[in-house]
Amino acid sequence: MTTTVNTPAPNPQGLAGIVAATTALSKVEGNLGRLIYRGYNIHDLAKTSTFEEVAHLLWAGHLPNSAELAAFKTKLAAHRKLSPAALSVLQALPKTAEPMDVLRTAVSADGATGEISGTPTLDQAIMLTARIPVILAAFARLRSGQTPLESRADLGHAANYLYLMTGEVPSEAQERALNAYLVMLADHGMNASTFTARVVASTQSDLASAVVAAIGALKGPLHGGAPSKVKDMLEEIRAAGGKEGAEKWLRGQLDSGQVLMGFGHRVYRTVDPRAEELKGMAELASPQEFEFASYIEDLALRLLGEYKPGRKIYTNVEYYSAVLLGSLGLPGDFFTPTFASSRVAGWTAHVLEQAANNRIIRPESDYTGPETAAFVPLAQR
């Protein structure tokens, strides 16, 4: 007689190791510290490409030639303006609102106009990607009592964003730094916000809904909310005595079970390739801030090795993002929204990929509650 034993299926926390989709967009190799977009290594793209080139690569499947890039830039620039609906929302929201909440609400308002409805299209992806930096910069100026600026067609995507934020045309070095940041954050496999966007898209919902949902996921401090937390951490260490008080402050965090922001990654078990690139850029952009951040990084890594031996915790992309974005004059609460202004290229590319070969994403859950509860009528409870 044969006895069959029903072994429960493995249930990894957070769906670790579970393949939820197939994609030709990007590949994250955590053990090797490697990130590729459609076959291209992130180091090559960060050093030589603009955000426009990478967005074209993600959406069209190839890097553009000169004519394609010129046409693409023209199309992107044509959409760099606020819709009346978004402007009304920005003017109505309190100046104290979190920029990520503002972005989520303004994109939702654009979705409600009917411009971004029905089956997701490339034109819609271009429109949303062009508008997000305009929304962010407009709110930044409105909350400080200034009038939003008009985009400049003669500026590239990164330079126009900085111009709209500050009112000054950025230097070549500043434009190059932000371009590299936007390139490196444009896509990153099946991260939480991208997964969220694909789940929404799988229901045959519209692109605006998918992006709004992705923004909500990115807002969390365990995902896109980390760079501003790094800035807060470095400022707290400075206030606690700077380098002299740093070890005491860091040990206090670790002793109380708190995480050190900017360290560790869900996928990478070696150096995050994006962190390598950003570290070099941060040193050029802000030598004084870099020197302090680098000192804290070395100390933090030593202490993490002491407190969490064998865990392979390394500096992640958020750590030097904070230094780089701060050097560009962006307020700390705009670090994550700026992340969104890059990742929207990846979100929309994934939505288009999902829509092209769709099946609703509907995973199972492992029920752990009771199964034989006796019902008691309301009068007897």
pLDDT tens digits for 165-181?
A: 999 999 999 999 999 99
35, 44 Cβ separation under 8 angstroms: no
364 is catalytic: no
User: Following CA atoms 267, 178, 140, 259 in sequence, which dihedral angle do they give, to the nearest 10 degrees?
Assistant: 30
Radius of gyration of the chain (CA): 22
CA 348 to centroid of chain Cα atoms: 13
Q: Residue 59: pLDDT above 90?
A: yes
| CA–CA dist 236, 97 (Å, integer) | 23
On the CB side of 113, how many CA atoms lie within 13 Å of its CA? 16
Confidence of residue 86 (pLDDT cuts 50, 70, 90): very high
Percent of residues, the chain, with pLDDT higher than 70: 94
Structural tokens at position 121: 């299209």
Model pLDDT for residues 321-336, shown as the tens digit of each residue: 889 999 999 999 999 9
Confidence of residue 224 (pLDDT cuts 50, 70, 90): confident
265 is catalytic: yes
Q: Which residues of 21-51 are buried (b: 16+ CB within 10 A; e: fewer)?
A: bebebbebebeebebbbbebebbebbeebbb
Residue extents of the structural domains in the chain: 26-222+333-356, 226-327
376, 226 Cβ separation under 8 angstroms: no
Q: What is the pTM of this model?
A: 0.89
27, 268 Cβ separation under 8 angstroms: no
Model pLDDT for residues 106-150, shown as the tens digit of each residue: 999 999 998 899 999 999 999 999 999 999 999 999 999 999 999
Provide CB contacts within 8 A for 276, sequence distance 6+.
43
Catalytic residue among 52, 53, 297, 318: 318
Confidence of residue 11 (pLDDT cuts 50, 70, 90): low
Domain 26-222+333-356, CATH number (from 1.10.3470.10, 1.20.1050.10, 1.10.580.10, 3.40.50.150):
1.10.580.10
Catalytic residue among 53, 265, 277, 297: 265
Burial label for 5, CB within 10 Å (0-12, 13-18, 19+), is exposed
Model pLDDT for residues 150-160, shown as the tens digit of each residue: 999 999 999 99
Lowest average pLDDT, out of 4-8, 328-332, 349-353, goes to 4-8
Closest CA to 292 of 253, 330, 235: 235
Q: Residue 31: pLDDT above 90?
A: no
21: left (phi over 0), alpha (psi -120 to 50) or beta: beta
Q: Do the domains at 26-222+333-356 and 226-327 have one common CATH topology?
A: no
CA 374 to centroid of chain Cα atoms: 47
pLDDT at 5: 37
Percent of residues, the chain, with pLDDT higher than 90: 76
CATH number listed for the domain at residues 226-327: 1.10.230.10
Q: At what angle do helices 84-92 and 99-112 cross, to 10 degrees?
A: 140
